[in-house]
Amino acid sequence: MTVLTPDALETRLREIGAERYHNRHAFHRALHDGKLSRTQVQAWALNRYYYQASIPVKDATLLARLPTAELRREWRRRLEDHDGNEPGSGGIARWLKLTDGLGLSRPYVESLQGMLPATGFAVEAYVHYVRDRSVLAAIASSLTELFSPTIISERVSGMLRHYDFISEETLAYFAPRLTQAPRDSDFALAYVKEHARTAEQQKEVIDALIFKCNVLWTMLDALEHVYMEGHPAPGAFAGAHTPEAFSD
């Protein structure tokens, strides 16, 4: 691989998003187009909860390795976005409002009892990747946020249009992400364009983004396999688990 200019590297990264981002996945297309049942939408939200809850965990592992106060201040905002600054605030709390709105028991969602095995493996692989790889690769793996505003807009408009059990309040998680994700991706993109100077470093950045796209794609593969193609997974969510039904 020859050394790319910073702008050529950005072009390559955006090509990866166009090719591999999970807005192209059949399960996501069905979600946005109103083709899923309530149980299938619940399964998506329940499994995605583990990903959302793990984001500040992976960010904390990176924060501990960042070499300057400037970088740590920048990355700390991501933890605040997801964990919030007080109980009931932040992205994880808003995602639980989504699962609440879909009629799922919060204790059941937080217990992870109904999560698909592939979800657990994919999310944990991402946390371990950020913990164990270079700072450059870890930051580059977050660049899927370059593409998230488009999928968020599609998701919100499509779900509100097609599902009578969805409301704007249920989808409140997504509104802040329309500003948070571009802010975060602008920083990460500028960082990798500045610091990926050799062919090896640029390959590391490209591979990191491909890996992260694969994580998100794998999670949807599992949902499609179980909830659209009808291959049961032991212990996985299969409906019910409303607040009234769940006791443990």
* pLDDT at site 151: 85
At residue 79, the pLDDT reads 94
pLDDT over 80 (residue 245): no
pLDDT of residue 43: 97
Residue pLDDT, tens place only, 51-93: 999 999 999 999 999 999 999 999 999 999 999 998 988 999 9
Q: How would residue 241 be classed by pLDDT, with cut points 50, 70 and 90?
A: low
Predicted confidence (pLDDT) at residue 243 exceeds the cutoff of 70:
no
pLDDT tens-place string over residues 191-202: 999 999 999 999
Q: Tell me, what's the pLDDT at 88?
A: 87
* pLDDT at site 105: 96
Residue 248 predicted with pLDDT over 90: no
**Per-residue confidence (pLDDT) for residue 240, from 0 to 100:** 54
Mean pLDDT of the chain: 93
Residue-wise pLDDT for 196-234, tens only, equals 999 999 999 999 999 999 999 999 999 999 999 999 999
pLDDT per position as a tens digit, 120-143: 999 999 999 999 999 999 999 999
pTM assigned to the model = 0.93
Distance CA 105, CA 163 (A): 20
12-62 pLDDT, tens digit each: 999 999 999 999 999 999 999 999 999 999 999 999 999 999 999 999 999
